[in-house]
Amino acid sequence: MRILVVGAGATGGYFGGRLAAAGRDVTFLVRPARAAELRERGLLIVSPHGDLALTPKALTAPEIGVPCDLVILAVKGFALERAIADLAPAVGPETMILPLLNGMRHLDLLRARFGTRATIGGVCRVATMLDAEGRIVQLAKFQELLYGEMNGAPSARTDRLHAAMQGAGFEAQLSRTIAQDMWDKWILLATIGGITCLMRGTIGEIEAAPGGARFALAFLDEVVAIARAAGHPPGEEFLTATRRQIRVKGSSVASSMYRDLTQGHPVEAEQILGDLIARGRAADVPAPLLAAAFTHLSVYQQRLGLG
C-alpha cells in the first residue's frame, strides 16, 4: 500500500514516522522548507514508547507523480484548502483519504473536491508537539488511530487499511461508529479547548478558581446540546468520563489549541468552535459560553493578522 502523509508535523510526523519505521511504504508531502529540514536532520520522535530517528521519503506538491492508495491528511484546519490543492494529483479513482483533522467541517471540503466515496472517517488520539529543535515530542502514552466508512458499513478497502495499520507501533482500530467517534472527539476538544483558552489556564487552575468547575460543566452542557441537536448525542459513559476529566484537582491538562495560543501560533478557532456555534444556531440552540470563547480567540487571531 502506497501511503502519502500530508504534513510532517506533530500528528502526521508521529503516525507517519511510526508507519515508516514499521516498514510501510510512506512518503511525506511537505513544504519546501520542511522537506529540506527532513533531508538535513531527519524525522525525530521523542516518545515514552521509544525514540525514533529516520530519514523518510519526502516530496513537495510539484513532485507528485502517480496516485497513492492511501492519503493520510494531517494538517491544521486553517491549512486545509491549500493542502487539498497540493495533494490532488495523488488522488486517483481508488485512493482513500483518511483525514485526521478536528471537527467535521473538513469533510464538506474534501467531498466537494474529491467526491463522497474518496473520504473515510478518522480520529487520532495522541498528545504530541514540535519542540524548538523540530523534534516531535509525545507528551503522554496514549496513541490511537481509528478509521472506518462514514456510514459504518464494512468494506474491503477499510479491511486492507486495517491490515496495513497493524503492528506499526500504535493502537489501530477499525470502527463501525466512526462518525460518532469524530463527534465525541469534537465535544472533548471544544470543551477543553474552549475553557482553557477562555480562562487562560489548565484544567487544574480552572477547577481551583471560584466557580471554575461550574463554568467547565456549563460549557460542556452547551457543546453536548449542539451535538444532540445535530443527531450525535454522546453516550453516558463518555459524558461521565468527560465531566470527571474537566474537574480534576491539580490537573496540568490543557488543549493543543491552548498550547498554540500561549506560544503565539494560529489556532483552529473556526474549525473547533466557530463551526460548532454555527450548527447550534441552525438548530436554535443557544451557546453563550462557546460564543464568548470564540470571540476571545477571534480577537487573538486578528492580532496575528489572521482575522
d(CA 48, CA 29): 26
d(CA 220, CA 91): 38
Rounded to 10 degrees, what is the CA torsion of 155, 236, 268, 229?
A: 80
Instruction: Tell me the β-bridge partners of 123.
Output: 146
d(CA 101, CA 121): 10
What residues act catalytically? 185
Neighbours of 228 (CB within 10 A): 13
Instruction: Tell me the β-bridge partners of 44.
Output: 53
d(CA 304, CA 143): 32
Cell reading at 14: 508521529
d(CA 55, CA 13): 12
Nearest residue to 25 (alpha-carbon basis) of 83, 68, 88: 68
Cell reading at 37: 529540514
CB 1 within 8 A of CB 25: yes
SS3 130: strand
88 CB contacts (<8 Å, ≥6 apart)? Answer: 113, 114
The number of residues making up the chain comes to: 307
d(CA 135, CA 37): 11
Nearest residue to 119 (alpha-carbon basis) of 127, 109, 110: 110
